[in-house]
Copies of this chain bind each other. A is one copy, B any other.
Amino acid sequence: MDCNGSFLAETESVAADVATAPVTIVVCSSCRDENGSDAHPRAGALLADATRAAARDSGTIEVRTVECLGNCKRRLSAALLRDGCWSYVFGDLTAESGSDLVTGAELFATSQDGLIPWRGRPDSLKRGLVARIPPLAMLKE
């Protein structure tokens, strides 16, 4: 599989015509800032707030929080989920990454192949990729 999205030319050419699908951004609200501070609100909670604010006018993007995405070695974390598609985890985010997450989610919402296109992703969602998981349905024989 091509991690870098060679399908992009096609995606871009049809983007104006395709319907978007709901995408859920899951922010880890318990993540600490780069100093490891236990202060509240946690940096992850601030990121969740910023993400909700950035998604306010979107009819496609939902924002949820969980208390641990298990990615504690790479600071602030969030996942992007779309039904039937690959699931993505990003790390090395900051409390200001909310608009990047929404930009990535909007791109994901237009995907034709279940992957987040590489072109157009904010740099934080290129450098910060932690893992991607295929949908279970794709793996059945």
A-B contact pairs, 8 of them (CB 8 A): A1-B66, A3-B68, A26-B139, A69-B131, A79-B131, A81-B133, A89-B130, A89-B133
Give the total of A residues in contact with B, Cβ under 8 Å.
28
Taking the full assembly, how many copies of this chain does it contain?
Answer: 2
Question: B87 to A133, Cβ gap below 8 A?
Answer: yes
Write the residues of chain A forming the contact surface with B, with a CB cutoff of 8 angstroms. Answer: 1, 3, 24, 26, 62, 64, 66-71, 77, 79, 81, 83, 87-89, 91, 129-134, 136, 139
- List 20 other contacts, CB 8 Å, given A3-B68, A70-B130: A1-B67, A1-B68, A24-B136, A26-B133, A26-B139, A66-B134, A66-B139, A69-B132, A69-B133, A70-B129, A70-B131, A77-B131, A79-B131, A79-B133, A81-B133, A81-B139, A89-B89, A89-B133, A130-B130, A131-B131
> A3 to chain B: which residues have CB within 8 Å?
68, 70
Rounded to whole Å, the gap between the CB of A132 and the closest CB of chain B is 4
Cα–Cα, bound, A67→B139 (Å): 12
A79 to chain B, nearest CB (A): 5
